């Protein structure tokens, strides 16, 4: 049975049992505890925590999940995956243990012809919590499982909580016996490799207190309503129904491994190929996870979610290279994942170009990193040998891995080729410290769970009515006041609070458009200045305000007003963003899709997918097309329709965004620009005013950014530029149109003069240094050539001079030490020739020894090292010390 069929049968089973199907939430939720959604119940947490009232009493879903705490362990075993699908059924104060157990058993054991999975009941072993006699009795007396196949287990295994104070309860897990080939008899208590868990039924009936995540916490008492939360692992069931050993051999991941075999020439599962098999599994697992993350809007970066994605993509690249791939592989892996996963997630096929562009862009960047890492490795290897050691330090290996992204397994391989080993114990210790810090951070985040229950009453009332599309002032009623997370009845002048209204014209920040500014007033003298507007649960507007006058209380009648000037500038910025997006796609092609945006009055910032920079001519063309659309004065139409209908019309959706069934379409100029957008816009394109693109830059792998002014801000910017040009023309005494040529001529002349000056400076330095050869001193049989040279030389010039003197010193052992006064700084360079190094004299050691004598520091390689100090009076002492050290 294919995985997509397993998924469909689960949903069909529970829909037939009266459950509402809830589509999978995005892998990214607004939850301070979570980097990614990591369990099927996460989207339902507000209901279980009592923060919101669920709109249904029964629900079912197949939730996308990602767990990345132990990325380095992926592939080493066949049980660990970063991405998985968790099927679940949920009851909110409706049914409880009996129904949950029967629902699960029926689906697992019902025949395939009848819509079930057709699993042999004799293969299934339930477990229950130690004292849960009720669940034990249901399994034994109603389901008919023999008592010897029902095992009681302790809190660690069969008692569930979210790891923080809140709902908890016993659980009953269902295990499948894979047979004696996989381990010893005795049920899950004896061997969880043979008996694998496929379903967990959580009976959420109690409230827990503070304490450890697993066992060390107090049960405070029963919940007001009992709930059910279950989770069935789709991938694990697929292993059983497809009769394969592990998830990597199922229909979703094996095709990716097949692709890797084709690209690398290696074979998965070949004799004596354990290391290669790990790499195949890493590719298959990480490719699927990366595709799902990118599709939900995650982009590679150096922190947070983006860093996790970057690590996954880089592990794919390095695994492919270690398997023997010599060229790019990412596009093939991404395409195969999309092919296998899109039957369950059709949007992957729709976003294929964007997903591929992000992943391939990161591959290209990392291949360059690998090249740079090889140079860094060479430096570490040389330093190791110069110390007389044969082992690269754990610190060097960790720095290569953590700071430069250079994989440890490549470090090990290259070290072996260089006749060196790596202090793996030291590396592992540093990695463990890093993981420990990460886990501590994760634990700390759990205590940062924002208490959103204060907004529950407002969420239960239904959404705030947003009137801002058609009016800038609306009469409203104060539904509630919130201060420091608590409901209050009244606020006084000087207070900064949140105000919840039943209706409002003030736009809440979303879709790249920042919140409106405005005021809330009342007939009895209340004046509240609105500083920000945010959404709660995507439906309730909370106005952050400062009480300037009067006392505002819950239930008051008020007038909410938008700052008209602010709104005018905001609509110009947002509509201008649509113009720039359309122009970008016209010039760069349909692949230049949106990757993020920010617009505020008079300004817009637009991020888009692109594998290379925008040329000057392309930038000019984009600006011209956008302004031509403004001048044409296209009408702006907005309307609501179904998501599928909007896409059929050609409306563009924001990459990674989750939309509802009904969407708002903003159409400017018919086919010129049509996007799904909830923002506020001008009435016609001419109201945007001029658009001036300020610049274009890179903001990440495969993502570029343009910034622009619109309206009066654009006019003001152009006026400043015109005044600047006029001033230059006046100073140069040429017409404005000749300024660029005249400036270019001046720059060329200046560069020529600088080159001539540098040449004279170098000749002067060589002349002053020539005398140093004649005045060299002997330290045993080593010749020391040193002293102060011409002032004003920087480190680079000193290096060039030192290497020249070293070459002129001949084959005899020689050390060159040069100092130069440059303002308040004293740069210095030490160089040694091969004969001196053979006698144990190393430039790096000498620099570290003498740098303090001139009030500085430095370091470098055995052949060439440099530093910088501030005390020129110490030069003679430093030179004497070098002579002493060279002669030892």
CATH assignment of the domain containing 22:
3.30.930.10
As given in the structure block, the two tokens for residue 73 are 């362990």
Q: Does 186 lie in the same domain as 42?
A: yes
Residue 743 lies in a domain: no
Out of 720, 740, 770, pick the residue that ends a domain: 720
Out of 404, 429, 446, pick the residue that ends a domain: 446
User: Is 401 one of the annotated binding-site residues?
Assistant: no
* CA pair distance 521, 179, nearest whole angstrom: 73
Residue 48 lies in a domain: yes
Q: Does 496 lie in the same domain as 436?
A: no
Q: Does 167 lie in the same domain as 27?
A: yes
Mean pLDDT by 10 residues, the chain (888 residues): 96 96 88 82 85 89 88 76 94 95 97 96 96 96 96 92 85 95 93 93 91 76 91 94 93 96 94 90 96 91 83 90 91 97 93 90 82 77 86 86 68 80 89 69 44 75 92 96 91 95 95 93 95 89 96 95 95 95 92 86 91 89 96 94 87 70 90 92 95 88 88 92 88 86 89 84 70 85 89 84 88 92 91 92 93 92 92 93 89
Out of 249, 276, 299, pick the residue that ends a domain: 249
Number of folded domains that form the chain: 5
Q: Does 438 lie in the same domain as 338?
A: yes
Residue 741 lies in a domain: no
Q: Residue 642's domain is classified under what CATH number? A: 3.30.980.10
User: Is 677 one of the annotated binding-site residues?
Assistant: yes
Q: Does 119 lie in the same domain as 9?
A: yes
Map residue 115 onto helix, strand or coil.
coil
Q: Does 442 lie in the same domain as 304?
A: yes
Residue 737 lies in a domain: no
Interior angle at CA 748, CA 742 and CA 754, nearest 5: 135
* CA pair distance 12, 85, nearest whole angstrom: 16
Residue 236 lies in a domain: yes
How many residues belong to the chain? Answer: 888
Q: Does 143 lie in the same domain as 83?
A: yes
User: Is 681 one of the annotated binding-site residues?
Assistant: yes
β 421-422/391-392 pair status? parallel
* Contact criterion met (CB below 8 Å) for 35 and 68: yes
User: Is 568 one of the annotated binding-site residues?
Assistant: no
Q: Where are the beta strands (DSSP E) in 93-150?
A: 124-129
Residue 381: per-residue pLDDT: 87
Residue 510 lies in a domain: yes
Residue 733 lies in a domain: no
Residue 749 lies in a domain: no
* CA pair distance 689, 668, nearest whole angstrom: 15
As given in the structure block, the two tokens for residue 514 are 């920042």
Phi and psi torsions of 435, nearest 5°: -65, -40
* Contact criterion met (CB below 8 Å) for 585 and 592: yes
Q: Residue 477's domain is classified under what CATH number? A: 2.40.30.130
* Contact criterion met (CB below 8 Å) for 42 and 63: yes
Under 8 Å CB-to-CB from 541, ≥6 apart: which residues?
A: 464, 466, 500, 501, 504, 506, 508, 533, 534, 535
Q: Does 276 lie in the same domain as 368?
A: yes
Q: Does 93 lie in the same domain as 49?
A: yes
* Contact criterion met (CB below 8 Å) for 642 and 591: no
Q: Does 435 lie in the same domain as 350?
A: yes
**pTM, whole model, 2 decimals?**
0.68
* Contact criterion met (CB below 8 Å) for 362 and 300: yes
Q: Does 126 lie in the same domain as 30?
A: yes
Q: Does 275 lie in the same domain as 238?
A: no
Domain with 300 in it: 254-446
375 CB burial (10 A radius; 0-12, 13-18, 19+): exposed
Q: How many CA atoms lie within 13 A of 105 on its CB side?
A: 19
């Amino acid at each position: 049975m294919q995985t997509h069929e397993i998924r469909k049968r689960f949903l069909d089973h529970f829909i037939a049992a009266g459950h509402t199907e809830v589509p999978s939430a995005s892998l990214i939720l607004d939850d301070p505890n979570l980097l990614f959604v990591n369990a099927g119940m996460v989207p339902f947490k507000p209901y279980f925590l009592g923060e919101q009232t669920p709109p249904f009493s029964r629900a079912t879903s197949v939730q996308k999940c990602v767990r990345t705490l132990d990325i380095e362990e992926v592939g080493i075993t066949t049980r660990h995956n970063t991405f998985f699908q968790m099927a679940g059924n949920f009851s909110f104060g409706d049914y409880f243990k009996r129904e949950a157990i029967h629902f699960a058993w029926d689906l697992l054991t019902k025949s395939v012809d009848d819509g079930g999975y057709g699993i042999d009941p004799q293969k299934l072993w339930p477990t229950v919590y130690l004292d849960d006699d009720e669940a034990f009795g249901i399994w034994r007396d109603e389901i008919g499982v023999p008592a010897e196949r029902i095992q009681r287990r302790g809190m660690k295994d069969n008692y569930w909580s979210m790891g923080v104070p809140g709902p908890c309860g016993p659980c009953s897990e269902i295990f499948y016996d894979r047979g004696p080939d996989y381990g010893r008899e005795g049920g899950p208590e004896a061997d969880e490799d043979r008996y694998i868990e496929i379903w967990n039924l959580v009976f959420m009936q109690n409230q827990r207190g503070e304490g450890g995540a697993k066992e060390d916490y107090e049960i405070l008492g029963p919940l007001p309503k009992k709930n059910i939360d279950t989770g069935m692992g789709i991938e694990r069931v697929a292993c059983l129904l497809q009769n394969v050993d592990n998830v990597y051999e199922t229909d979703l991941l094996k095709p990716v491994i097949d692709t890797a075999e084709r690209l690398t020439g290696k074979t998965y599962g070949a004799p004596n190929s354990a290391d290669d098999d790990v790499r195949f599994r890493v590719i298959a697992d990480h490719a699927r996870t990366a595709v799902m993350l990118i599709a939900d809007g995650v982009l590679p970066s150096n922190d947070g979610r983006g860093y996790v994605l970057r690590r996954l993509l880089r592990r794919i690249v390095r695994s492919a290279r270690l398997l023997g791939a010599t060229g790019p592989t990412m596009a093939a892996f991404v395409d195969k994942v999309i092919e296998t996963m899109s039957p369950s997630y059709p949007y992957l096929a729709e976003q294929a170009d964007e997903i591929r562009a992000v992943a391939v862009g990161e591959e290209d960047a990392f291949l360059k990193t690998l090249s740079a890492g090889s140079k860094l490795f060479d430096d570490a290897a040389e330093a190791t040998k110069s110390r007389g050691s044969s082992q690269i330090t754990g610190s060097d290996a960790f720095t290569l891995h953590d700071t430069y992204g250079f994989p440890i397994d490549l470090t090990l391989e290259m070290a072996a080729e260089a006749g060196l080993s790596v202090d793996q114990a030291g590396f592992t210790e540093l990695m463990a410290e890093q993981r420990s810090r990460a886990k501590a951070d994760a634990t700390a985040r759990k205590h940062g769970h924002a208490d959103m229950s204060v907004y529950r009453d407002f969420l239960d009332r239904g959404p705030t009515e947003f009137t801002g599309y058609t009016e800038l002032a609306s009469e409203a009623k104060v539904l509630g006041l919130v201060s420091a997370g608590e409901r209050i009845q009244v606020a006084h002048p000087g207070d900064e609070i949140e105000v919840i209204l039943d209706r409002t014209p003030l736009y809440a920040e979303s879709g790249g458009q920042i919140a409106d500014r405005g005021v809330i007033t009342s007939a009895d003298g209340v004046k509240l200045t609105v500083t920000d507007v945010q959404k709660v649960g995507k439906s309730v507007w909370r106005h952050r305000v400062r009480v300037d006058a009067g006392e505002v209380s819950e239930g008051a009648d008020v007038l909410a007003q938008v700052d008209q000037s602010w709104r005018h500038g905001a609509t110009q910025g947002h509509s201008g963003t649509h113009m720039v997006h359309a122009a970008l796609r016209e010039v760069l092609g349909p692949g230049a899709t949106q990757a993020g945006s920010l617009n505020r009055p008079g300004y817009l910032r637009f991020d888009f997918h692109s594998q290379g920079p925008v040329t000057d001519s392309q930038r000019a063309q984009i600006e011209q097309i956008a302004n031509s659309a403004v001048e044409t004065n296209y009408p702006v139409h907005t309307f609501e329709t179904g998501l599928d209908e909007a896409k059929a019309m050609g409306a563009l959706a924001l990459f990674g965004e989750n939309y509802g069934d009904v969407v708002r379409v903003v159409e400017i100029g018919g086919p010129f620009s049509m996007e799904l957008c909830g923002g506020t816009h001008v009435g016609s394109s001419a109201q945007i005013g001029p658009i001036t693109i300020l610049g274009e830059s890179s903001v990440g792998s495969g993502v570029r950014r343009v910034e622009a002014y619109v309206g009066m801000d654009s006019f003001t910017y152009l006026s400043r530029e015109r005044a600047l040009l006029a001033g230059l023309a006046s100073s140069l005494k040429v017409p404005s149109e000749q300024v660029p040529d005249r400036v270019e001529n001046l720059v060329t002349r200046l560069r020529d003069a600088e080159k001539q000056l540098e040449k004279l400076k170098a000749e002067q330095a060589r002349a002053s240094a020539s005398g140093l050869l004649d005045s060299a001193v002997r330290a045993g049989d080593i010749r020391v050539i040193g002293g102060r040279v011409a002032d004003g030389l920087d480190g680079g010039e000193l290096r060039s001079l030192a290497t020249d003197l070293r070459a002129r010193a001949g084959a005899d052992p020689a050390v060159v030490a040069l100092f130069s006064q440059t303002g308040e700084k004293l740069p210095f360079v030490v160089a040694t020739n091969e004969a001196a190094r053979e006698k144990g004299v190393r430039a790096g050691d000498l620099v570290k020894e003498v740098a303090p004598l001139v009030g500085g520091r430095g370091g470098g390689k055995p052949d060439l090292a440099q530093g910088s100090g501030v005390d020129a009076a110490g030069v003679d002492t430093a030179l004497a010390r070098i002579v002493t050290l060279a002669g030892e």
